[in-house]
Amino acid sequence: MSTLFTKIINGDIPGRFVWRDPEVVAFLSIGPLAPGHTLVVPVEEVDRWTDASPETLAKAMIVAQRIGKVQVEAFGSERAGLLVAGYEIDHLHVHVWPSNSMKDYDFAAVDTDPDPAELEANAEKIREGLRAAGYAEFVPEA
């Protein structure tokens, strides 16, 4: 059975994609910790990060780092937060978001009803930043 993320990757469920290549995709979280909160997800269905091949894990982290650098610039944050939790969806995913302190890691504080227009504007900020950083070939259109 396909995971929720596989359904998003395949277009069965909509997603606000900011990155797409043959191995990894990235799209905005629908429950963001901060504006621009992005999930980096391998196309391959891997449940636990510890079960991922070194190549899959490395690729996800490379893309997460690229997105994190853009988030810091685009959203004026001190750092980019990164977390691999793995309990919400049984498909490896890396959370990356603009962060200014440890309080930004509180998943009890997610926005459970984000404005769709704001989500799209935040996705476009990340897309623009990735294009400017030289990754245009991996940045899908809105």
Q: Which of 37, 91, 93, 95 is catalytic?
A: 93
Instruction: Please give the Cα distance from 58 to 77 (Å, whole number).
Output: 24
For the chain, the C-alpha Rg in angstroms (whole number) is 14
Is residue 95 flagged as an active site residue?
no
> Considering Cα of 99, then 138, then 6, then 118, what sign does the dihedral take?
positive
Task: Report helix, strand or coil for 79.
Answer: strand
Supply the residues annotated as catalytic: 93
